[in-house]
Structure 1
Amino acid sequence: MATLQNAFQIVLLFFVLVTIHEWGHFYFAKRAGILVREFAIGFGPKLLSFKKGETRYTLRLLPIGGFVRMAGEDPEIVQINPGQRIALALKGNEVTHIYINDFDNRSDSIVGVVEDIDLERRLFVKLDMDGEIKQFPVHPQALMVSKDKETQIAPWDRQFGSKTVGQRAMSIFAGPMMNFFLAFILFVTVVFMAGVPDKVKIQGTTAGSAAEKAGLMANDIIVQVNDVTIGADRNKLTSLIKQSVNKPMVWIIERNKEQIRKEVTPADINGGQVGVTLMAETRKASFGEAISNGWSSMTSATVSILDSFGKLATLQFKMDDLGGPVRIVEFTSEQASAGWAQYTFWAALMSLYLGLFNLLPFPALDGSRLVFLGFEALRGKPVDPGRESIVHFVGFAMLMLLMIAVTYNDILRLIKG
């Protein structure tokens, strides 16, 4: 049962992190008026697919990411050229369907040869029907049908490239932004689940140590040391101990709701030790404390992640320092087994990591696309789409090679134990 629950939590983690990221792209693209052709979780062959409104939603085989396919980003529409034979389905006098083939089964359509056509700006098609030339307006949501595959046309004002730099940048930045938002919510949730440190508690004592000789016991709460209130500050206690090597200290501890005075003399070991293992006793967090502590956890985690990116960029790492999908799954399983608070904290870290990683200015990542938009804003004109596509393709290939390498390394590590 535990294994099944761990598997569910692993799948849930990846699904939520990727979905919230892609939903950010999707939502702000739709707000900008961009036609979103597909909202996909995963890559590779489709496992599940359905269409709602203008968008097809798909679940794909490889759970290593996702994508939102916007009109105008890729040349996905079949081109229709003058001289080509097509069939049109009309509603009133307006074209709703353009058929590329299989004309014999289009009894409800008109067939002819294209004289002229514009499906982006003027939205019309001029057809030669046995010598009679006639022009028809095209509905802005008309469908092109080729071998029973339907593709909605994308007028220029519905394409990604037609929007302002700000609108396009927001559509791209929104993915990482949603990961940051989710990470903060999860960090705050962890504080509510785990509580906030309230008192320093003795978890155990070392045999023969000064603490054991003084009569300190597990579950004793340390109230004061040398008239200094400890509260939840372990560092304060450690500092006082190091200042009192071989000098008797007066400890006030709480045991069974009763305060007891103990005399403890730190030994001259590693700068001063009394032989206790400490733990925090927590209490329920207030709303303000949850927000404050959650934000502190997020900022410290951000510094740590950025530091690791810096080491990666300057090649200050070994191959064993890197982890791929196998190691992430392995560690996620460990965190799931440790309880919901630990699992939620790990989910927060992963969401934060995903957001920061995607903002790196590396080809194929969101950060690289934002860099190209920055160049466009400075130059006053876009970078050549063909060149940008090549850069992103090379970057994606490099990321896939790195993924394969770290996955291979993870598998070797598992085999070797």
Structure 2
Amino acid sequence: MEAIVSFVTGILAVVCAFGFIIFIHELGHFLTARWVDIRCPQFAIGFGPSLFGFRWRGTNFAVRAFPLGGYVLMNGEEPGERAEDPWAHAVKKYLGEEDFPASPTRLLEVLQAVPEAERGADWRDVYDQVAFARCEEFPNLKSVEGNFHDRSVWARILVISGGVIMNFLAATLILWSIGPFYGLGSFFRDWPPVISQAVVGGPAEQAGLTARDLLLKVNERELGSDLEAFHAIGEYPGVPFQLTYQTPGQAAKTITIRPWLAVGDQAYEVADSGEVTLKRSASHPELAGKKLALSRDELVQAVKSASEAKEETYQVVFEGTEKPISFKLSERYPEPRGQIGVHFGVMDIRFEKDVHSEVAAVKPGSRAEKAGFKPGDLIVQVDGLLLLGRFESYGSLLDPALQQISEIDQIPEVKVYVARDGGGEELVLKKDDGPLTAQALGLELRQVTGSEIAAAPFRLIGELLYSPIMIARAYFSKQATSQEIVEGLQGPIGIMQMIYNLADNGIIKFLFFVALLNAAIGAFNLLPFPALDGSRLVFLFWAAIRGKAVDPDKEAKIHLAGLMILLSFVVLVSFGDIKRLISSSVLVL
């Protein structure tokens, strides 16, 4: 029953989030269009058959069956012959004999004087257009029609910008309502040892572990983070141990699991008999599945001997061959390690209302000063435990991170990575020198201020607007390939999955994500790509500069071509979303 409620809640969250964002965007276009007296006969959320609707001030509002879209139909937005327009005929039919300019009051009198028997179905449309007009007078008959292309360039710029303005406004208001109570929010790769993916064919997958399972214990050792799980499991290279884990909504389970024996990028499966089989190798994938002519103990000894001799490689011999094969040792973890074949890297939304991870001051003569900390340093991570999110940093996590590291015996000293002067520094803290807390170290972190919370929406919008430039710079400077860029984007399926997962995490995180989506949709629509609002604005500004509009038919064809390209790109990104659903992610063990 709990699973059904969770599923229904997730689906409703997706529908509500997309419906709200689309509604807000289209409402912006609608309100600005009506502000300049452009007729809007239809306002729809979704596509397909209408579920319900109503008429208000001359506009037919409807909610349709498929909520992933919506539109405002503005009169005359698409190019066409006015002579064939039934709406233009209706206006001329009832008001064509009047003298212009004419006030709305005068035209209403004319319309009301039309006998009931002569009022067609279109009479109500003409009446509503005149009755709810904001102008003081109509200069000519054509102006009564309320056509988009008949309005001034600046009026059309306002209408096209309306959707983006409303998206940004919605994001700002939501973040302002959350910020004073919860602080600054951001996406954050959380620490708990929650599985994001079990590698197919790996020990964890064969033992029945799946995504979202939480690892609790290795033998009797409790696990407080994914980093601690990494080191705890690493102590058992090819040796069975007791693993306690919990699937959401179920009681904890304890199983016996034999991990792979991992060395560098090689993973070996150890049988109960002691036979060793290479399961995976990035440098020699063609050897996967072959048995070694070494036992588990002989392999461990070969690796330890090479490591103690400070060699960069170790050698193994496979059955049926005499020539040894060299594999590279890992610089950071040269010793054999246990590996059960799971990925960590669960993304969450976290808020910070106390302190940033930025150093405000360093106490003179303190351990922090001796280690090399300086005011202005941004603490990025503590030995693999991140303190930095997508948009914010988390100073309140510094002490918990230091505490986690101090409890991991396999880490002899604490490495703290800081961002400084456009680069990075690795600072080292000794565990034996005393307590590991910010206060004991002599660090003072910068406080989160009310002005930062107030400015957070604008900083978020600014970063989203700047992100296409960052992506372009990364591509042209060869820091990222086109494939890496596409794989890093989230399409509709990926976004729906994130909303679905957040549905169980509380209304505040859900609202933050809705605010972020509003800002992202607004920024995306401002891109000067055909079919997007940004491209329409480019055409309008060009018309304002040259004093002559681009041919509406040519512009429509350009937007149509852009829409086809855009839909193809969405399909391409959606394949990446599907790929991420079946494979991931960050820390593997």
Same fold (TM over 0.5): yes
1:18-37 equivalent positions in 2, closer than 5 A? 18-37=22-41
Q: Does 1:235 align with 2:358?
A: yes
Structure 1 residue runs of 5 or longer lacking an equivalent are: 82-97, 100-116, 126-137, 198-202, 208-230, 248-263, 279-284
Residue 71 (1) aligns with residue 71 (2):
no
Matches within 5 A, 1:266-285: 267=413, 269=415, 270-273=426-429
Q: How far apart are residue 33 of structure 1 and its match? A: 0.8
The aligned residue for residue 9 of structure 2 is 5
> How much does 1:342 deviate?
2.0
Q: 1:242 to 1:317 in 2, by over 3 A?
A: farther
Alignment equivalent of 1:349, drawn from 499, 516, 519: 516
Partner residue in 1 for 2:254: none
3-state SS of paired residue (1:64): strand
Larger relative strand fraction: 1
Which structure 2 residues correspond to residues 117-196 of structure 1 after superposition, within 5 A?
A: 119=91, 123-124=95-96, 156-157=142-143, 158-195=146-183
Conservation of the 8 A alpha-carbon contact between 1:183 and 1:298 = no
Q: Does 1:376 align with 2:532?
A: no
Shift of 1:48: 3.4
C-alpha displacement at 1:171, in angstroms? 1.0
| Number of aligned residue pairs | 316
Q: Which residue matches 1:311?
A: 471
Q: Is the 8 A contact 2:53 2:63 kept in 1?
A: yes
1:96-107 equivalences in 2 (<5 Å)? none
Q: Is the 8 A contact 2:464 2:523 kept in 1?
A: no
Match of residue 385, structure 1, among 539, 548, 552: 552
The residue matched to 1:65 in structure 2 has which SS? Answer: strand
Asked whether the 8 Å contact 2:168–2:519 carries over to 1, the reply is: yes
| TM-score relative to the length of structure 1 | 0.63
Amino acid paired to 2:174: L
After superposition, where does 1:328-347 map in structure 2 within 5 Å?
A: 328-347=495-514
> Given the alignment of the two structures, is residue 296 of structure 1 paired with residue 456 of structure 2, yes or no?
yes
C-alpha separation in 2, matches of 1:123 and 1:46: 33
Structure 1 residues 66 and 246, CA, compared in 2 at 3 Å: closer, same or farther? closer
Mapped partners of 1:363, 1:69: distance in 2: 19
C-alpha change, 1:408 and 1:268, in structure 2 (3 Å) is closer
Q: 1:36 to 1:118 in 2, by over 3 A?
A: closer
Residue of structure 1 aligned with 2:45, choices 38, 41, 46: 41
Secondary structure in 2 matching 1:236: strand
Q: Among residues 320, 323, 335, which one is paired with 2:490 in the alignment?
A: 323
> Cα 1:367–1:195, aligned 2, differ >3 Å: closer, same or farther?
closer
Shift of 1:144: 7.3
SS at match of 1:244: helix
Matching residue within 390, 394, 403 for 2:561: 394
- CA-based RMSD: 4.3
Asked if structure 2 preserves the Cα contact closer than 8 Å seen for 1:187 and 1:298, the reply is: no
Distance 1:335 1:402 in 2: 26
Percent identity of equivalent pairs: 28
Contact 1:37 1:55 in 2 (8 A): yes
In structure 2, how many angstroms separate the alpha carbons of the residues matched to 1:47 and 1:8? 16
Aligned in 2, Cα 1:325/1:196: closer, same or farther, shift over 3 Å?
closer
Which secondary structure does the structure 1 equivalent of 2:63 belong to? strand
Q: CA deviation at 1:379?
A: 1.7
Residue among 517, 522, 526 paired with 1:359: 526
**Would the alpha carbon gap of residues 23 and 46 (structure 1) be closer, same or farther in structure 2, given more than 3 Å must change?**
same
Please, which runs of 5 or more residues in structure 2 have no aligned partner? 98-109, 130-140, 186-191, 193-223, 229-353, 374-405, 407-411, 416-425, 439-447, 585-589
